[in-house]
Structure 1
Amino acid sequence: MDKQPIVVEVVYALADKQKLLRLSVPHGTTVRQAAQLSGMQQHFPDLDLDSSPLGIFGKAVAKPDERVLEDGERVEIYRPLIADPKEVRKQRAAKAKARAEDDGGA
């Protein structure tokens, strides 16, 4: 007996535009396949679904080409980082230190 399709959501967001798509996919669909089946590239033409990092409910999936989805899961397509978070923290700390020195020297 064939299994019924499952329903999943696929989401992607930019700073100024977000899209959530709900779709029905066959049992055995992987995270990457769902992203590709979603049609998200029609809404975001620069999106490369073949290499984008993917996750489920806020947790990155290490092997999205192998991880099979379950009914009701939400696939998240992640954007590449604009800046290295460690470097941003270093820069913020350096600015705070410089401000503290300026305030203390006055």
Structure 2
Amino acid sequence: MAEQAELQVFVSYALPQQEFVRPLRVAPGTTVGQAIERSGVLTAFPDINLVTQPVGIYAKKKTLDTVLREGDRVEIYRPLVADPKDSRRKRAAKKQAAA
């Protein structure tokens, strides 16, 4: 039986002033967590905490043990600075007060 070819995947993490995108060649069966570790992003950004920060593939949350497929872009999400619902309420109240 022939060996399966390696997969091309990407690991990304973005800050307001900086972006990390690393292409990787990984073996079939590699997980999101393994790709993140291999990418070097945890060394470049030691503040990343995979216990508390969600990860995903193409903006869909996934677990660290999700197996990757060809072309997947693994994303590490930053903690939210503000609650989106609260921000929306404040904007609506401000708009209403201006009217």
Place the TM-score, normalised by the shorter chain, in its bin: 0.7 to 0.9
The runs of 4+ residues in structure 1 deviating greater than 4 Å are none
What value does the CA root-mean-square deviation take over the aligned residues?
1.5
Structure with bigger strand share is 2
Structure 1 CA distance, aligned partners of 2:78 and 2:64? Answer: 18
Question: Structure 1: where are the runs of 5+ without partners?
Answer: 101-106
Aligned length: 98
Question: Structure 2: where are the runs of 5+ without partners?
Answer: none
Give % identity: 46
The correspondence of residues 1-106 of structure 1 with structure 2, limited to 5 A, is 1-61=2-62, 64-100=63-99
Higher alpha-carbon Rg: 1
SS of aligned partner of 1:91: helix
Structure 1 CA distance, aligned partners of 2:95 and 2:70? Answer: 47
User: How far off is 1:71 after superposition?
Assistant: 1.5
Query: What do residues 43-70 of structure 1 show as CA deviations (whole Å, max 9, x unaligned)?
Result: 2121123442111112222xx2332101
Query: What do residues 56-99 of structure 1 show as CA deviations (whole Å, max 9, x unaligned)?
Result: 112222xx233210121111111111111000001111111122
Q: Contact 1:8 / 1:22 at 8 angstroms: preserved in 2?
A: yes
In structure 1, what residue type is equivalent to 2:35?
A: A
In structure 2, what residue type is equivalent to 1:84?
A: D
Tell me the TM-score normalized by structure 1. Answer: 0.81
Q: Contact 2:9 / 2:23 at 8 angstroms: preserved in 1?
A: yes
User: How far off is 1:28 after superposition?
Assistant: 0.7
Tell me the TM-score normalized by structure 2. Answer: 0.86
